[in-house]
Chains A and B, each alone.
Chain A
Amino acid sequence: MSRFMSRFTRNPAKTGILNETNNNDEVLSPGKIIWKRFRRNKIAMIGSFILLILIILAILAPVLTPYERDAMELQNREEPPSSEHLLGTDRQGRDLLTRVLYGGRISLSVGLVASSLQMVIGVILGSLAGYYGKWLDTLIMRITDMVIAFPFLALAITAAAVLGPSIYNTMLIIGFLTWTETCRLVRGQFLSIKQMEYIEAAKATGANEFRIIWHHMLPNALAPILISSTLIMATAILVEAALSYLGLGVQAPMPSWGNILEPARSMIVLMNMWWLWLPPGFLIFISVLSINLVGDGLRDALDPRLKN
């Protein structure tokens, strides 16, 4: 014990406290509370469950499918579903179930990579703008305004056409077009967290900027960033599907849910071969829906204002 400590002699009990509200020793960290609230949300739990299944199916695609991804059986083209090909075959005689499962890998990873990319850009720019303010803020916000003004899909289509359609370009295009929301969000979070007294307290104890940003501001802004990135991931999957459907996204033979659907642009396929477009379309819908449900559930779990 230092000398400093021994100076305190009086018993503080007189001041009185310690009638505890939570007597068990369980420590309720903020993360635990969010999880507890999230778990109560049935719809969000169903969403997480479906999402989990889709992810497992995508991961296990090589194990689950008896066919090679790109193997063509030219004698078995455009076959309707049968016991051999549960979802039939496409115009090149490839097994559709196989392609749909592999397509899930591609579509989900495009969503994940693109939304991670936008998150990195958005968080860096947003925190710089929010923390330092002044001219840097003005500059970043002007850039954000410009990107927000992009006619989103038109530019994505144009860029894909110009840069050449491929899975990587699709990820890059979506990532570079969607970071503005995260940037604004992080900036707003930083601006409001900056007003919190605990930031002043950290300054008053002599914490440097790095410590304030990393230790105090980012962890408090993290939850909303994650929510918005989840929701942006859903958007990214939709955009990938749309680009690929138009032939401007992921390129065959690599399958993605969007490009499996591409043949449905032909009226003959649309009219006569439902197995070519219905399953991948449905899977896009289900996966985006489940991600959105999870994101929505997270938002409710994090915003106690909306619950009473």
Chain B
Amino acid sequence: MSDLLQVKNLYTSFNTEDGVVPAVNGISFNLKHGESLGIVGESGCGKSVACLSIMRLIGHPGKVEADEIKLDGTELQALSEKKMRSMRGNDMAFIFQEPMTSLNPVYTIGFQLQEAIQLHQGLNKEQSQHKSIEMLEMVGIPRAEKVFSEYPHSLSGGMRQRAMIAMALSCEPKILFADEPTTALDVTIQAQILELMTDLRQRINTSIIFISHDLGVISEMVDRVIVMYCGIIIEDTDVRTLIKNPRHPYTIGLINSKPRIDVELERLEPISGSVPNPLNMPSGCPYHPRCESAMEICREKLPENHEIKDGHRVCCWLFSELGGKIKS
């Protein structure tokens, strides 16, 4: 499989009154055609910002820089705003976390669906209405024709998220960013939406980047996972390896601190401390103040990426010769 999306050294920072907040600090990853990639991390780790940066949806006072952001071979950074707009919602679509606030309250569901369809597919009003209703049916909304002319407030959270999914998929995008699409929903509704997304994935040929803080959701939804911490990628591997054989101390800590519904644990093993203040990042590896295996070098230098196995990258000194030497 060839690469659909290539991101190289992406940096996003926000200029605030209190100083520069580096939200994404030089991440690189690829997404293959038809692949689903998960991005895991705690709040503030930069996972959403990274995706919004790729879509060029970061507004003032954010600043995005990258060596490369290529979609299907096209360098996105070189595109004019106009060209970029024609790709947004068309080649790349986004599903947001909050279904309650992500739809415009003063327009009908149908209007908001048609908008993108008319814009990108050049369909007329009637055709786009037909297509919209078709999309609503596809995402399992009952009485789609009635919902078409309803306003968002009359739908439940789950239904709104379905409508958002319909909107995102209406132009058959090459890549779909799903930013915590089920976090705001109850667990039984989350199950409905996850099943819908799994089902849709089999039916349409779209690559997905699935953002979540929930390793349970991730392990059900994706093929490959990126773990982010403080704006950098600390581990990148397939989902099976990540959960069965995680290598980075943070990933291990994350997995150990989560109780399981299927297994009884005597005691949870939390990661100590908390995420550092983005305005006051620790030197070296951002994880070292919380890391039990931290060494001298971790305090001084940001570790490099180490491919410890085919397709398994870890960003940690424990796996480098240099780090090993200093440890001994």
Contacts and interface: CB of A to CB of B under 8 A. Distances in A.
B61 A308 contact: yes
Contact of A308 (B16, B274, B280, B290): B16
A19 B280 contact: no
Contacts of B274: 17, 19
A16 B273 contact: yes
A168 B277 CA distance: 55
Given A37-B17, A307-B17, A21 B61 contact: no
Most interface-central of B270, B272, B276, B277 (chain A CB within 10 A): B272
Interface string B291-306: 0000000000000000
Nearest to B271: A16
A307 B17 CA distance: 8
Interface in A260-297: none
Contact of A15 (B14, B61, B270, B290): B270
Contact of A19 (B61, B270, B276): B276
The size class of the interface chain B forms with chain A is 10 to 19
B17 A21 contact: no
A28 to B, nearest CB: 12
Interface in A22-79: 37, 40
B289 A19 contact: yes
A297 to B, nearest CB: 14
A19 B290 contact: yes
A19 B281 CA distance: 12
Contact of B280 (A15, A18, A21): A21
A15 B280 CA distance: 23
B216 to A, nearest CB: 24
Contacts of A16: 270-273
A19 B17 contact: no
A242 B289 CA distance: 65
Nearest to A14: B272
A21 B280 CA distance: 7
Contacts of B270: 15-16
Contact of A17 (B16, B17, B273): B273
Given A19-B290, A21-B280, A40 B272 contact: no
A125 B290 CA distance: 52
Contact of B276 (A15, A17, A21, A308): A21
Nearest to B290: A19
Contacts of B271: 16
B179 to A, nearest CB: 19
Interface in A292-307: 307
Interface in B43-98: 60-61
Interface in B163-184: none
Interface of A: 15-19, 21, 37, 40, 307-308
17 contacts: A16-B270, A16-B272, A16-B273, A17-B272, A17-B273, A17-B274, A18-B273, A19-B272, A19-B273, A19-B274, A19-B290, A21-B280, A307-B17, A308-B14, A308-B16, A308-B60, A308-B61
Interface of B: 14, 16-17, 60-61, 270-274, 276-277, 280, 289-290
